[in-house]
Structure 1
Amino acid sequence: MSEEPPAPVMFPPDTPMAYFNGLLATDLAETVDLAKDPDALDRGGWWAVVATFEGGLNAYRFRDVRPSPRPVPSGPWLGPAPGSWRSSLDEDGYRSRVLAIKERIAAGDVYQVNLCRMLSAPLPAQAQALALAAVLATENPAPYEGMLHTGTDWVVTASPELYLSRAGRLVTSSPMKGTAAPGEEFAPKDYPENIMITDLVRNDLGRVAAAGTVRVVALLDRQEHPGLAHLVSTVVAELRPGVGWRDLLASTFPAGSISGAPKHTALRIISELEPVPRGPYCGAVGYVDADAGTGVLAVGIRTFFTSTTPHGARLNFGTGAGITYPSDPSAEWAETQLKAARLIALSSAVGDAGVGPTPSRWAGT
């Protein structure tokens, strides 16, 4: 007779844990700042990893890792009030920055820049990471969904985008550029933009790959996700002998799809134009199994994370769009709305129904 699958487990709300790819990790053993100890991911152990867009890299080694159903929250999701979300840029501020980027492109400084804004709302004391993860898994399933609770802060992601996966020396990255509503065509600018970022990823991987092993195995695939569609390409490479996570992250982070091209110039422009840090949004989130030589890190989009301020805990979420010379400022603003509306509505739910009202004012405030 076949064995019964393990029953879901319920944990206290502030238990340190991670859940990625059907693996439940508990019993947090250590936290490592990878800027100070960049080789930790190659020494052994199972690590949950969160990287901020600004370059903060933290890894959390768990002792107990096992296949498991999704852990059960001790109560329903109780999220922010729908009208409490505030944006770091209003529509006028976002559109003016799109025009500023277009001027930089016309001057020959850069080809493409990803311009983002951060949404934030007060976090109710009863809010649980596991409860939000359960809502997103049900209402907005994503290929790289997962969560990490460090005991104090937490990250819950419904990311559709692969930053890096690794199986031994084989590395895969799937940049996502181009967004459309369900059933709609992509804008003409989406196709060259995706190709440009795919070439950037190819060059990034080429710095650490064995000669002749970098290949684009899929180009401009349309992928359907809840509420929208994306253009996705996939690049694979074989790492040179002796290359570990230290060099791989150094050569590819942050992902090209959420920075721009050339990357170093795009990052400088982002720092000039965006009024607040992105944090884990547009960073990376996932896990590394150093014993098995495997790992999966998603781009930190469609990702919620907590922060503590003098005024209390907050829930944060980012949204953005890639700006090229043909970009229309109003259309780019609308793309940020499209990307955020469904998930902000879900995260604003109150009670156990899992779906809250669609917000009408949050994005422009």
Structure 2
Amino acid sequence: MGVDGYARFGRRTGRGAVEMVDLTREPDALGVGGVWFVVADFEGPVRAWRFAHVETGPEATSSLEGSRLPAEPWNGPASADWRSSLDEDAYRAAVVTVREHVRQGSVYQANICRILSAPLSPARGEPSAVALAQRLAAGNPAPYEGVIHVPALSGLEPVWVVTASPELFLRADRVVGPDGRVTTTVTSAPIKGTASTPEGLLDKDRAENVMITDLVRNDLHRVCEPGSVEVTSLLAVEKHPGLAHLVSTVVGTLLPDVTEPPGPWGAILGATFPPASVSGAPKSAALRIIGELEPVPRGPYCGAVGWIDVDAGTAELAVGIRTFWWTADSPHTAGGGPRLHFGTGAGITWGSDPEAEWRETELKAHRLIGLASAAD
């Protein structure tokens, strides 16, 4: 990959980043058109990069494992070097605190996360995001795998994110009805409920999924035609490497005035971000509790990663879970310097057991941390 950057997600591949905008400051900035690759931090900003060369369609659909890019070596951190922003005692205490908030009636569910970080040698410069992406694609294939890397030398605001996300945040599709009317359908598929096998999914997981699915419905109602929002699948079981999830799917039709130029992206993100499945219900109360209990920002973890095609009026964004990001300097981590980061968390309800929730965060991190720690 050259200094101008590389991005790959779903059916889109980009080379040569030429522009970056922050949609939190300029929600209508994508009106210029084209394909934009998006990385949204949980706390903001929501940044988008436009690339000079974009491939779309069958030639861009193969996985990163089988991509035409030459295989590159990945030299990850030592497995013993990872440190957590919350240790086990602190995380379990946070679970107890959330349960008290639930008892008091201020929140029904809150997603509590911790950030794992490990140092990388500054002498090596920016590590190869493509190499890590290829390693994850081979060892942990995911429906929304991707990589977005714009180096500091590109002259644009840099980004380094590799995701193996299993969760769809938002998909926008243009639909032509029998009467010739063109509408935009938006789909979200929140994950709530995780176990090592389907048999391990509990009633607590199912109740949590229903709560979050209802929150997604409420979010989409803010930008969709009345009566168009529906749950097309509830509590479906999806299997992924080493994990089983409960997934529900919510679909709605965007309001006509939302789809008018310069486009719906600012309105959609304003109504739905951050994703419901990684915040909680009610969302405003959950975000306040998250801010009180989590000692460091989540960054791209629990944000969003994907693309927006302005000209086609389509988009695909994953929830930024099972996601790595690299920073040249880490002010929130002891020792600072270049570090690789990975987030893991769990949804906390009244039915949560502190030890079981800690184990869930360990389960979600185990396979991917192992892949990223290995060296060629």
> What TM-score does the superposition give when structure 1 sets the normalisation length?
0.91
Among 156, 166, 169, the residue aligned to 1:160: 166
SS of residue paired to 1:47: strand
Please show how residues 95-174 of structure 1 align to structure 2 within 5 Å. 95-124=92-121, 125=124, 127-152=127-152, 153-168=159-174, 169-174=184-189
Shift in Å at residue 76 of structure 1?
1.0
Shift in Å at residue 71 of structure 1?
4.7
| 2:333 alignment partner in structure 1 | none
Query: Whole-Å Cα distance in 1 between the matches of residues 107 and 25 of structure 2?
Result: 32
Contact 2:6–2:148 (Cα < 8 Å) also in 1: yes
Aligned length: 340
| 1:324 alignment partner in structure 2 | 349
Shift in Å at residue 339 of structure 1?
0.2
Contact 1:42–1:245 (Cα < 8 Å) also in 2: no
Counterpart check, 1:299 vs 2:305: no
What amino acid does structure 1 have at the position aligned with 2:276? G
| 1:284 alignment partner in structure 2 | 304
Please show how residues 177-188 of structure 1 align to structure 2 within 5 Å. 177-188=192-203
Query: Whole-Å Cα distance in 2 between the matches of residues 245 and 22 of structure 1?
Result: 19
| 1:312 alignment partner in structure 2 | 337
Query: Whole-Å Cα distance in 1 between the matches of residues 31 and 219 of structure 2?
Result: 20
What percent identity do the matched residue pairs reach?
57
SS of residue paired to 1:208: coil
Contact 1:73–1:130 (Cα < 8 Å) also in 2: no
> What TM-score does the superposition give when structure 2 sets the normalisation length?
0.88
Root mean square deviation of aligned Cα: 1.3
| 2:280 alignment partner in structure 1 | 260
Query: Whole-Å Cα distance in 2 between the matches of residues 41 and 295 of structure 1?
Result: 12
Shift in Å at residue 145 of structure 1?
0.4
Query: Whole-Å Cα distance in 2 between the matches of residues 75 and 165 of structure 1?
Result: 31
Query: Whole-Å Cα distance in 1 between the matches of residues 204 and 256 of structure 2?
Result: 39
Q: Deviations over 1:148-204 (max 9, x none)?
A: 001133100000000000013100000000001035320220001000000000000
What amino acid does structure 1 have at the position aligned with 2:120? L
SS of residue paired to 1:231: strand
| 1:5 alignment partner in structure 2 | none
Q: Normalized per residue, which structure has more helix?
A: 2
Query: Whole-Å Cα distance in 1 between the matches of residues 190 and 18 of structure 2?
Result: 33
Moved more, 66-75 or 325-334: 66-75
| 1:44 alignment partner in structure 2 | 33
Query: Whole-Å Cα distance in 1 between the matches of residues 68 and 99 of structure 2?
Result: 46
Counterpart check, 1:93 vs 2:93: no
Q: Deviations over 1:273-302 (max 9, x none)?
A: 000000000000000011111110000000
Contact 2:172–2:313 (Cα < 8 Å) also in 1: yes
| 2:364 alignment partner in structure 1 | 339
Q: Deviations over 1:103-147 (max 9, x none)?
A: 010001100000000000112426310000001111100000001
SS of residue paired to 1:36: coil
What amino acid does structure 2 have at the position aligned with 1:33? D
Query: Whole-Å Cα distance in 1 between the matches of residues 52 and 219 of structure 2?
Result: 33
Q: Deviations over 1:246-278 (max 9, x none)?
A: 111000001110000000000000000000000
Shift in Å at residue 316 of structure 1?
0.4
| 1:198 alignment partner in structure 2 | 213
Contact 2:115–2:341 (Cα < 8 Å) also in 1: yes
Moved more, 40-49 or 215-224: 40-49
| 2:77 alignment partner in structure 1 | 80
Please show how residues 19-30 of structure 1 align to structure 2 within 5 Å. 19-30=8-19
Query: Whole-Å Cα distance in 2 between the matches of residues 206 and 123 of structure 1?
Result: 44
**Structure-2 change in CA distance of 1:144 and 1:40 (3 Å):** same
Query: Whole-Å Cα distance in 1 between the matches of residues 168 and 31 of structure 2?
Result: 20
- Unpaired runs of 5+ residues, structure 1, are 1-10, 352-365
SS of residue paired to 1:242: helix
- Unpaired runs of 5+ residues, structure 2, are 153-158, 175-183, 259-263, 331-335
Query: Whole-Å Cα distance in 1 between the matches of residues 41 and 16 of structure 2?
Result: 24
SS of residue paired to 1:334: helix
Contact 2:42–2:303 (Cα < 8 Å) also in 1: yes
Contact 2:71–2:134 (Cα < 8 Å) also in 1: no
